[in-house]
């Protein structure tokens, strides 16, 4: 795969409206890149997995 194709895929995934959209966020006084739609905490993450409870877990 060529670099241009990889860059396009990255931009689609992390750009505005993408599944893994990145934004700048203040974390402990530092400005860091973070996922805009990430769960706010680990509890929210695990609750979101409940929809897949009937599937095998690695």
Residue 58: what pLDDT? 77
Pair 34, 22: CB distance under 8 Å: yes
Q: What is the pLDDT of residues 2-46, one digit of tens each?
A: 999 999 999 999 999 999 999 999 999 999 999 999 999 999 999
Do the domain assignments include residue 44? Answer: yes
Distance CA(15)–CA(1), nearest Å, equals 20
Residue 27: what pLDDT? 92
Residue 5: what pLDDT? 95
Could you tell me the pTM of the whole model?
0.69
Does residue 1 carry a pLDDT above 70? no
Do the domain assignments include residue 16? Answer: yes
Provide the number of structural domains found in the chain.
1
Do the domain assignments include residue 57? Answer: no
Distance CA(54)–CA(39), nearest Å, equals 22
Do the domain assignments include residue 40? Answer: yes
């Amino acid at each position: 795969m060529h670099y241009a194709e990889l860059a396009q895929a990255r931009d689609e995934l992390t750009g505005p409206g993408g599944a893994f959209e990145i934004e700048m966020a203040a974390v402990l006084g530092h400005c860091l890149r973070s996922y805009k739609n990430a769960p706010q905490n680990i509890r929210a993450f695990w609750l979101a997995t409940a929809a897949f409870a009937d599937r095998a877990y690695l």
